[in-house]
Chain A
Amino acid sequence: MSRRKDDAPSVATYADHEVITPPHELRKAVAQAADSDDDPVARAEAALSQLSGEFGEWMNAECERLEQARQDVKREGFTPKNHDALFRAAHDIKGEAATFGYPAVAGIADSLCRLVEHTPEIDQIPVTLVEQHVDAIRAIVREYARADLADVAHVLTGRLREVTDDFLRAENDFRPDYLENIFAPPLAP
């Protein structure tokens, strides 16, 4: 496909930079709402809701991927490949859990990501603590229908995060700037 030709961007030149205003090509998609009842967000939420029947299966698949990464670490240790696979599996669960209807596992997946990412030497990552995170995620997903699940998950998340943070503080005390950064509040909207 080819891009249609438009006017060239306008450029204002300053002492050490240029301010470039490209043609507003997406103006084509800006329109006045004719139907005030039209709600694209509601339509998208409805479409997502129709898909939600598959989310349980998807969550199980992500847990299996995490389990496989754990088994590889146990069998071969923390090679760069295994380290990367474990982080990616935990990171995906962190990002997807709430969308899939399992928000209670996101905090533990986040804690596991922090442990794997911020331990300075990968061969120093405590496998036992990794296993506790993986077991907790799998157990919460498996028992998600339990009435007391939210309370159990809250306690588990808090404890795992506490142990992980203590470990990371000790391991990173030789680099205070890095330590400050990993304990800074999140900025993303």
Chain B
Amino acid sequence: MGRRRPRPHPTAPKAMVRACATIEGMSPKQLEKHYDAVIVGAGAAGLSASLGLLRSKAFDRMRQEGRSPKILVLSKLQPLRSHTGSAEGGIAASLGNVEHDDWHWHLYDTIKGSDWLADQDMAAILAENAPATVIGLEHDGVAFSRTGDGHIAQRLFGGHTAEFGRQPVHRTAYAADRIGHQILHSLWQQCVKEGVEFAEEWYVSDLVVERDGDGMGHARGLVVLDTHTGKVHGIEASNIMLATGGAGRLFHTTSNSWDLTGDGMALALEAGLQLEDIEFVQFHPTGLAHTGILLSEAARGEGGRLLNADGEHFMDRYAPGHGDLAARDVVSRSIMAEVDAGRGVADPKDPDGPRDCVWLDLRALGRDVLEERLPEVCETVRQYAGLDPAEDLIPIKPTAHYTMGGIPINADGNVYEWADGERRPIEGLYAAGECSCVSVHGANRLGANSLLDACLFGTRAGAALAARIEAAQPHDDGADDASPAVADAADARRHIIETLLKPSSPAGSDSAGDGASDASDDNAYRLMADLGALMERHAAVRCDHDGLAEALGAIERTLTPRGDRLVAHSDTAAYNQEVTAILEVRHLLTVAQAMLAASDARHESRGALFRRDFPERDDEGFLAHSMTDARHAVSWQPVVITDYPPKSRAY
């Protein structure tokens, strides 16, 4: 090399150090006594909310007045690890870059996809503001795929149509098959620009909601575990936003990352709040067999076909006119029906195993198209199945993908509870993204609507937080108005974690004989696997009362007591993943019970929920949102219907 290279300097140049003085380090330098807002989760919803807050006019005004609201974003993961990054297919918006489109068509498709369980006023916000949301993401740096003339490219996607169901429409903006990665990284990058303060690998164990004399709920704060040190902190906050993602790890076969343990949902339940429509879990039809890893719907959008053991292209039989691009629940159930009819195939990796898969055939696309449009799909198939999508049939199986239900919120992300036939807001508590339910997905989410939901309603929630902070008196740190509830909850949690690390007596020793050894042999990872298998057996894709009751009974009699007896196998608190896993599996158990109770209460089949014992939709009885609390009490909230009265949902 001809170039002369100076020796590396032993210390960083001063100019660079100065440039980043405000954002050094991954944990807050100083934990404040009180925060104006704490956002839990750093995926699409949490980051969108952070930006929505910091870029709002209200925040600008506060800055000009010399106010500097204290805002903290907590994540149980490191930056950029959130599951948003795995989303492949796209984000829907009626931009009309490829062909004429209209947001009313997007609205109609969303409602039809939801099996008329979406609140139509919320779905209208989603569809109407989708184009601005996508443009905003482009301005934030997302490397969208482009049309020849430089506009954001759009592709076909299941359930998205023109003219109210007449024909498929190119509505889904995409970035090859890495749209989630692009959005996650671009939003994080913008947060770096704005100087957002993060606390990484902090796990929220408790949400503190206090009731006033009238029974109204007020968010007071959080208890968090700093997993780096093992230290428990009580954090007081005037506003809390939950953006913790879904609960796919309830099921053994899932496309979700290992961290999707329903934490925000469980926090809400444990704080005495309800979950809305939690019985609706979308199973993505094309999970790569026995890994659960998702093969993007784009694989079918680009022309992939599903074949049964006889080589029959069976989707035309179940969904004439839509075929392989029918809604996800329709395709998932069709696959299960083929498997039940004995026309399933075994995973070639396990040729003597159960014939519980069908084939995805991408061969007709040709190698060049595959590599250009579906690079991640091809890579996944090669890596994890050892197959060549240009030559081989690919075994696929429905995989738990998305929880439509969640923490009930209004259009501004404010959490509410349903009591005495009305919505009662929880003051200072917000949510957005998959952990929430604003009810745009109803009983079944349309593909490419989840990133849209998270970014759009996340941003709205952030703006609402800013408005609330502006309207409130600046918090006086000197004032001794703190509620003891947060400190009390932190003390209680500290004690629990000390017990997990150093059990005073061998756990379970009260049940003489097998108890002691059972408890120390057992662990959170095994319990999570057992719960996943149980839920998969009784609640995946299809269910009935007997199975749901059996699953609920098994959780109450066996799994929850096992969860209560768990202890850690190392007493070192720093980076003790097992402690986090114990808290996570307890969260999963809490959410699982609510899910089973809600599924059992809904005596109909709608969208993603298929009850063998109630196979028909029942609009008379159940055109309503289930509202389920931790005591399994289910009440019903009517669906908001504005423009589109329920019709049959034929694909």
A and B co-occur in one complex: no
Residues in chain B within 8 A of chain A (CB atoms): none
